[in-house]
Amino acid sequence: MKRNPVYSTHIGAASVLLIFLVLSLISFAALTLVNSRADYVLSKKMYERSVSYYKACHEANGFIAENEPGLRNGSHGKGDIKRSIPLSQFQTLDVCIRPSSEDSENSYEIAEWKVVTHTDDVILDESLPVLK
């Protein structure tokens, strides 16, 4: 009697494949968690930055509204009116309004409205957290 050989996968190959699949899923889940955490931190910083910028813009608009009556009736003078509004520890919103010439229908013009970064006190951490 001749035996026919039986070709089948052994139980070990299925276990190795299952272990590889589980490890792959765990590593992808960990990478997704780390990436979503980094995105959350970045979006929170951007939210805080946007809120501080729009608060500074609101304060600058109030500054312009305060000075508009003096510019309109000409009692302010000829010089520029400047104000620096803090945004963060290292940034300010600089606003400058200038009285218009006599032939203009507007009483003032906005000469400057920009975010300025003061890098004199900034210490950048450029080190890489690499294990030795």
Task: Return the closest-CA partner of residue 85 out of 106, 65, 57.
Answer: 57
Could you list the residue range(s) of the whole structural domain that residue 106 is in? 18-117
How much is the pLDDT for 126?
A: 78
pLDDT given for residue 8 in this prediction: 64
pTM above 0.85, yes or no: no
Confidence at residue 106, expressed as pLDDT on a 0 to 100 scale: 74
Number of domains making up the chain: 1
Q: Per-residue b/e over 67-87, b at no fewer than 16 CB within 10 Å?
A: beeebeeeebeeeebebebeb
pLDDT for position 104: 65
pLDDT per position as a tens digit, 91-125: 999 999 988 876 667 778 899 999 998 887 677 77
Q: What is the pLDDT of residue 123?
A: 76
CA distances from 2 to 5, 8 (A): 9, 19
Does residue 128 register a pLDDT over 60?
A: yes
Which three-class secondary structure state does DSSP give residue 87? coil
Please indicate, yes or no, if residue 66 is contained in any of the structural domains. Answer: yes
What are the tens digits of pLDDT across the range 74-99?
777 678 899 999 998 889 999 999 88
Separation between Cα atoms, residue 103 and residue 98, nearest integer Å: 14
